[in-house]
Structure 1
Amino acid sequence: MTPTRAIDLYRQHAVDPIEARVDEFAPLVKRMAYHLVSKLPASVEVNDLVQAGLIGLMDAARNFDPTAGVQFETYASQRIRGAMLDELRDADWLPRHIRRNMRDIEAALQKTSQTLGRQPNDSEMAHAMGIPLATYQEMLGECRGHQLIYYDDFDGDDDGERLDQLVADHDANPFNTLADTDFRRILIEGIEYLPEREKLVMALYYEQELNLKEIGAVLGVSESRVCQLHSQAIGRLRVRLKDWVGR
């Protein structure tokens, strides 16, 4: 079903005020979908996010209480984003073998950094994992879209526990953890301990909102190399954050 068809079906049953809100804020759904998909693997279809977001918008339009003291756009944005995140969780967009690879990388990062007393480089990581350097870098490239915290963080048939279960005191919502003062402090400290090039990648990607190709132009490396650096930086940060969560 296309996003346009979803709106048409909704309009058959909508009352005028609700229909007006859907018409007015439908472009917001598209903007949010494109912003989100830019951070995700190429396998994620933007139309799937738009469709999920439209459902979230329709739900927001039906349930919005104008007396609650919140603007509709603020309320709708939360419902739209939540619907898109649910779509990603249900679609299981990150393949299992990539999740396994990233967990192996994180385990090697933790062990090797403890052994060396510093952050290991690519060659040291490949040696620690017993694989060629090219294979290690290929694994990093495949992990594009790997995040600090996200739903279904670990496969149910593996030995690991879900990260969102580990932060149950935040209502099992990993995004609530981002607001935690200690979490933010640990994250900032973790970024400071990243190798300089990875630190720069994180700053350009998240603070300056450059895409991978643009960052590559700044650093004088290929887009694929930037992707590897980003994935490795995320892996280092996840190791640090999981140590903090597990305390």
Structure 2
Amino acid sequence: MRKPCNEQLCALAQKGDAHAADLLLEHNSGFIRKTASEIFLKSNLAESDLSIEPGDLEQEGCIGLLKAISSYDKSVGVKFLTYAAPFIRNAMTDLVRDAFSRYEQRMVDSENGLGLQKVRLDEVLPGEERLLRMEAVADIAAKSPEQVYEERETLRELYEGLGQISEREQTYLLYRHGFTDDIGHTLIGTAIHFHLSEKRAKRLEGEAMDNLWLELPWWF
């Protein structure tokens, strides 16, 4: 007997058939698992302190798929999985965003917090962030004079390049790549920090990196 397709199962689930909904989850578990793995790697969750596992993302993806059932309309001509995919992905990314938000708020509220409060790019002075980084250069006694010189020369050229791009771009890159605290921040974490959407943060980062690259001496 031929197995029912996603669209047929969705029609049954819309009528209240719980078994059909379970079969939808089962039939699309591979896609949910793959999406969870992609977001887990993209968000660098293995190296974070958020305690989010791939299984947590998969669970949220299942919830997202179930939410898509009620509003799906087969007559539009779109496959069910194509329609449900954004619901699945959004459920997973919402989990990550909420976790980042709670984590950063805990850091702000804690006595020994790292000062990860949300700020706006227009309110940050790049000069202050640059000074913080310059003070964080490795101890000269820990490396050879040649290594220290090379690193500082590279930093000098980098900061000169940063000085040629916009203040918003400077501030974003300094935070994103850990120049202010020696901690690289994920794209989503940086977006949250600066009150940006993930899409806007990604676009800003691309533009900033392109502009910085053109200002570096080794480009010429």
Asked whether the 8 Å contact 1:56–1:76 carries over to 2, the reply is: yes
Asked whether the 8 Å contact 1:21–1:61 carries over to 2, the reply is: no
Does the C-alpha gap of structure 1 residues 146 and 175 become closer, same or farther in structure 2, counting only changes over 3 Å? closer
Match of 1:132 among 110, 132, 136: 136
1:236 corresponds to which residue?
none
Tell me the CA shift for residue 38 of structure 1: 0.7
1:163 corresponds to which residue?
195
Asked whether the 8 Å contact 1:37–1:46 carries over to 2, the reply is: yes
Does the C-alpha gap of structure 1 residues 51 and 74 become closer, same or farther in structure 2, counting only changes over 3 Å? same
Tell me the CA shift for residue 31 of structure 1: 0.7
Does the C-alpha gap of structure 1 residues 60 and 104 become closer, same or farther in structure 2, counting only changes over 3 Å? closer
Does the C-alpha gap of structure 1 residues 69 and 175 become closer, same or farther in structure 2, counting only changes over 3 Å? farther
Asked whether the 8 Å contact 1:22–1:61 carries over to 2, the reply is: no
- Output the amino acid matched with 1:59: K
Q: What runs of 5+ residues in structure 1 fail to find an aligned partner?
A: 1-9, 114-119, 155-161, 165-173, 199-247
Match of 2:83 among 64, 75, 97: 75
- Output the amino acid matched with 2:133: A
Q: In 2, distance between residues paired with 1:39 and 1:176?
A: 14
- Whether 2:63 is the aligned partner of 1:60: answer no
Does the C-alpha gap of structure 1 residues 61 and 192 become closer, same or farther in structure 2, counting only changes over 3 Å? same
Asked whether the 8 Å contact 2:64–2:87 carries over to 1, the reply is: yes
State the Cα RMSD in Å: 4.2
- Output the amino acid matched with 1:20: L
Tell me the CA shift for residue 67 of structure 1: 1.2
Tell me the CA shift for residue 100 of structure 1: 2.0
1:216 corresponds to which residue?
none
Asked whether the 8 Å contact 2:61–2:88 carries over to 1, the reply is: yes
Does the C-alpha gap of structure 1 residues 101 and 15 become closer, same or farther in structure 2, counting only changes over 3 Å? closer
TM-score normalised to the size of structure 2?
0.51
Q: What runs of 5+ residues in structure 2 fail to find an aligned partner?
A: 1-12, 108-113, 140-177
Q: In 2, distance between residues paired with 1:102 and 1:139?
A: 15
Q: In 1, distance between residues paired with 2:34 and 2:187?
A: 22
- Whether 2:210 is the aligned partner of 1:192: answer yes
Tell me the CA shift for residue 192 of structure 1: 1.2
Q: How many residues align?
A: 149
1:205 corresponds to which residue?
none
Tell me the CA shift for residue 15 of structure 1: 3.9
Match of 1:38 among 20, 36, 41: 41
Tell me the CA shift for residue 57 of structure 1: 1.2
- State the SS of the aligned residue for 1:144: coil
- State the SS of the aligned residue for 1:29: helix
1:192-219 residue CA offsets vs partner (Å, 9 max, x unmatched)? 12348x9xxxxxxxxxxxxxxxxxxxxx
Tell me the CA shift for residue 17 of structure 1: 4.1
Asked whether the 8 Å contact 2:64–2:88 carries over to 1, the reply is: yes
Match of 1:26 among 10, 26, 29: 29
